[in-house]
Amino acid sequence: MRVIDSHTEGEPTRVIIEGGPDLGAGSMQERIARFAREFDHVRRTTILEPRGADAIVGALLCEPTRDDCVAGVLFFNNTGYLGMCGHGSIGVAVTLAYLGKIGSGVSKLETPVGVVSVNLVDENTVTVENVPSYRYRKDVAVQVPDMGTVTGDIAWGGNWFYLCKESPFPINLDNERALTDAALKVQHALWKQGITGRDNGEIDHIEFFANAQAADADSRNFVLCPGGAYDRSPCGTGTSAKLACLADDGVLAPETDWVQESVIGSRFVARYALNANGEIIPSITGRAFICADATLIQQKDDPFRNGIA
């Protein structure tokens, strides 16, 4: 199976370009369901050790159902499948450019949660126009063991997020373990107390915020991803969810840049427009770099040929 590895502001993406499963026809939602049902061993092989790592997000390219899209994209990680991935979309765009499949300018990708546009500014810089994003509930209190009452917003940015009002620790790599443990406690408390997104959507991303460290940035974040790994990038869907909250609070005007730092100091430049339904349409600009053009090999006697589950 041939893959292209890249990182987007530090967060890795592994794109399957040859040798992946044939998911047949149907919508992106039907295909990702078929992927999970019949070919989950491909996800495990691609993402889990010994070939992968918890932080990697995978992407399977497939034929789109729409004529205006250059590719269909199905995202997955160490525990399952994602509707959308912002850093992954930037990685996919740079990968397609590396393969000569797209040139500079705007192209469209079809995902299970809708069409996203990717504007290739140069060989490494991409602006992703995300799916409509919105805040679902404001100031939701949850009782968290060892932390007491935690308050945050529930917002959609292509995935469901709980955006905590305050970070329990300074956001830096020295506190990565403590931040991860705290975010896991919040995540488990949300599950236990039955707090969800719209239509019982599972809140599988937790986001903490603090003041930016760079003078020209607006915020610093720490994002816990569904599989328990932290996002090295500022998180595209998480930044989209944050913009939705800022817009709803009336503190960030449309077409105003918002610079979001990650826990490692990398950054996305974000802004939004409003659609006719009052939802925001976020645009996220970041950089991705190709790391490897590789072939994953399975030997028949390898006990971990499908990954270490």
The residues that are catalytic are: 85, 235
- What distance in Å separates the CA atoms of residue 123 and residue 48, rounded to the nearest whole number? 29
The answer to whether 232 and 224 have CB atoms below 8 angstroms apart is no
CA atoms within 13 A on the CB side of 66: 16
- What distance in Å separates the CA atoms of residue 78 and residue 185, rounded to the nearest whole number? 19
User: In the chain, how many H helices and how many E strands?
Assistant: 5, 16
Where do runs of H (alpha helix) occur along 160-282? 176-192, 236-249
- What distance in Å separates the CA atoms of residue 102 and residue 24, rounded to the nearest whole number? 24
Give the pairing of strands 219-224 and 258-261.
parallel
- What distance in Å separates the CA atoms of residue 87 and residue 285, rounded to the nearest whole number? 9
The answer to whether 243 and 133 have CB atoms below 8 angstroms apart is yes
* Residue 173 DSSP code: G
Give the pairing of strands 134-144 and 280-295.
unpaired
